[in-house]
Amino acid sequence: MEKIGYNPYFYSYPQYLSNNLGSVGTTNISPNFRGNGVGVANPSVNYTTPPDTVEISAGNKINEASNLEKKTGMSTGAKIGLGILGTAAAAYGCVVGHRMINKPSLEKVAKNFSEIFRRDVSKDEAQKMANRYKEIFKLKDDKDFRKELFKQIKKDYGLENTCYDLSIKKLKKGENGHFTPFGECKLVNDVDGPSFYFNSKGSVAVDENWAKSRELFFNTIIHELNHAKQFEIAYRTNSKDALNAYIGNIKDELPFINKLEQKSYDIIAELKKTMKEFLGTTPANSLNKGSKDYELGLKYIENQKNYINPSKDPIKYQKQFVEKESFNVQNLMDNSLNYFLSPWRIF
C-alpha cells in the first residue's frame, strides 16, 4: 500500500571529495552544493603534493619511491593521508564559506516561510518560528528532536488537527521518504460478504538511515508534509475526485479492490468516512470555485491521476507539478536553515 501518494524524496548530498588516483600529484575538488550551485562561491581547490611523491598504476604498484620519505621519515601512506585531509579541510571551508555568504536576511526568511506555509508570515513571526526551530535542533535526544520537529512543522503547515503519524523505518532502496494519506488497507470477509477497511492512520515515513542526519530529516519532513497539504487542498476542492485519484495509485498492488468494485462495493464512501477522522476539521468540497486554492486542487488531482514514479522516469518524476512544488519548498527551507543554524554545522 506504499504507492498511495508515493513520493520518494531524493536529495543530492554534497560530493566533498573527488580524488583522481590515476594522478595523485594534483587532487582537484569541486564541492557540489545544493540548490542552483554556488556561482562565484563554487571554487575548485587544488592541493598539489610534491612532484616526486608517487604514481599509482592500474595494478596499484608504486613505480617511483619518494625521496622525501627518506628525508622526513614520513611514509607514503601518511603523506597521501595528509593530502586527503588537507583537501577535506579545504572543502569543508568552502561549505562554511558558502553558508556564510548565502545566509538569508530575516526579510528573505519571512518570504520563504510565506511561500512554504502558504500564508503571510511577518518578520516578527518568522523570527519566532526560526527561534523555535533552533531550540528543537538543540535537543540532545534524536527521538525527541524528530517528534518535536514533526509536531512543529505540522502546526506551521496548518495540519495540527490531522491524524498523520511519523514513522522511521527501513524503506525500499532509493526511497528516502514518502507520504501516505490513507494508512493500511485490509480485506475482510464478514456475513455480508467481502469488505475492506483502514486499520491505521495516514503517515509520513522517513528511511531510518536518512533520518540519522537532522538536516536531511528536516528537509524530508518539509517535502512530505507539503504533499499532505496538497492532498488536503485536493480534498477540499473535490473530495470524490481526490480520493479516486489517490486510490488509483494502489489498485495494481491491491487486486481485491477491483473485485470489490465489481460487487458494487462503495470504496469512496468508505474512504470518506475515514477521511472525516484523519483530516480532523478539514471540510470536503469547501473551496470556492475559481479561488487560487481551488485551481491548485484541480492541478493536484490531475497530477495524481497520472502520477509518475521515479522508477519509471526520474526526470519526469521531478518535473511533474506536485513534485516540482515540493522540491521548491524544500529548497526554500534549506536556504532558511542558514539563518538560524550555525554555518559550522556538520550534518
pLDDT in tens, 201-216: 778 999 999 999 999 9
Q: What's the pLDDT score for residue 182?
A: 72
Residue 2 in any domain: the answer is no
14 DSSP assignment = -
Residue 25 confidence (pLDDT) above 80: no
Average pLDDT, stretch 325-339?
94
- For residues 207 and 310, membership in a common domain is answered with yes
Q: Hey, how many other C-beta atoms are within 10 angstroms of the C-beta on 328?
A: 14
Percent of the chain with pLDDT over 90: 41
Q: What's the pLDDT score for residue 44?
A: 35
Q: What's the pLDDT score for residue 296?
A: 97
Contact yes or no for 233/280 (Cβ under 8 A): no
Number of domains, the chain: 2
What span, in angstroms and rounded, lies between the C-alpha atoms of 299 and 294? 9
Residue 11 in any domain: the answer is no
Residue 269 in any domain: the answer is yes
Percent of the chain with pLDDT over 70: 55
Q: What's the pLDDT score for residue 275?
A: 67
- CB half-sphere exposure, 152, CA atoms < 13 A: 17
Q: What's the pLDDT score for residue 152?
A: 97
Last-in-domain residue among 69, 85, 101: 101
pLDDT band at 132 (very low <50, low <70, confident <90, very high): very high
- For residues 131 and 269, membership in a common domain is answered with yes
Is residue 335 exposed (0-12), middle (13-18) or buried (19+ Cβ within 10 Å)?
middle
User: Each residue of 308-324: pLDDT tens digit?
Assistant: 988 889 999 999 999 99
- For residues 153 and 249, membership in a common domain is answered with yes
Q: For every residue of 74-105, which 3-state class applies, written as one string?
A: CCHHHHHHHHHHHHHHHHHHHHHHHHHHCCCC
Last-in-domain residue among 39, 72, 101: 101
Residue 267 confidence (pLDDT) above 70: no
Q: What's the pLDDT score for residue 283?
A: 82
- For residues 54 and 137, membership in a common domain is answered with no
Residue 131 confidence (pLDDT) above 70: yes
344 phi and psi, to 5 degrees?
A: -90, 5
User: Each residue of 166-177: pLDDT tens digit?
Assistant: 999 998 887 899
- For residues 72 and 134, membership in a common domain is answered with no
What span, in angstroms and rounded, lies between the C-alpha atoms of 7 and 251? 17
Q: What's the pLDDT score for residue 284?
A: 83
Last-in-domain residue among 101, 128, 161: 101
What span, in angstroms and rounded, lies between the C-alpha atoms of 226 and 327? 9
- For residues 86 and 121, membership in a common domain is answered with no
With CA atoms as reference, report the closest residue to 322 among 340, 346, 294, 298.
Answer: 298
Listed in sequence order, the residues at least 6 apart from 301 whose beta carbon sits closer than 8 Å to its beta carbon are: 234, 237, 238, 241, 242, 245
With CA atoms as reference, report the closest residue to 225 among 210, 204, 243.
Answer: 204
Contact yes or no for 232/163 (Cβ under 8 A): no
- Answer positive or negative: Cα dihedral of 108, 111, 115, 117: positive
Q: What's the pLDDT score for residue 187?
A: 58
What span, in angstroms and rounded, lies between the C-alpha atoms of 52 and 49? 8
Contact yes or no for 79/49 (Cβ under 8 A): yes
- For residues 235 and 206, membership in a common domain is answered with yes
Instruction: At 25, list the grid cell.
Output: 600529484
Highest mean pLDDT among 67-71, 152-156, 286-290: 152-156
Q: What's the whole-model pTM score?
A: 0.69
What is the span of the domain harbouring residue 131? 106-340
Residue 12 in any domain: the answer is no
Residue 203 in any domain: the answer is yes
- Write down the mean pLDDT value for the chain: 73
- For residues 132 and 225, membership in a common domain is answered with yes
With CA atoms as reference, report the closest residue to 79 among 29, 27, 33.
Answer: 27
Residue 303 in any domain: the answer is yes
Contact yes or no for 227/7 (Cβ under 8 A): yes
- For residues 45 and 124, membership in a common domain is answered with no
User: Each residue of 44-77: pLDDT tens digit?
Assistant: 333 333 333 333 344 443 444 455 455 556 666 7
pLDDT band at 270 (very low <50, low <70, confident <90, very high): low
What span, in angstroms and rounded, lies between the C-alpha atoms of 127 and 135? 12
Q: What's the pLDDT score for residue 61?
A: 39
Residue 298 confidence (pLDDT) above 60: yes
Q: Rounded to the nearest 10 degrees, what angle do helices 214-237 and 321-340 cross at?
A: 140
Residue 15 in any domain: the answer is no
The SS3 call for residue 194 is strand
- For residues 79 and 128, membership in a common domain is answered with no
- For residues 71 and 155, membership in a common domain is answered with no
- For residues 41 and 160, membership in a common domain is answered with no
Q: What's the pLDDT score for residue 288?
A: 94
- 127/256: higher pLDDT: 127
What span, in angstroms and rounded, lies between the C-alpha atoms of 195 and 187? 6
- 166/161: higher pLDDT: 166
Compute the radius of gyration of the chain from its Cα atoms.
25
Residue 18 in any domain: the answer is no
- 56/185: higher pLDDT: 185
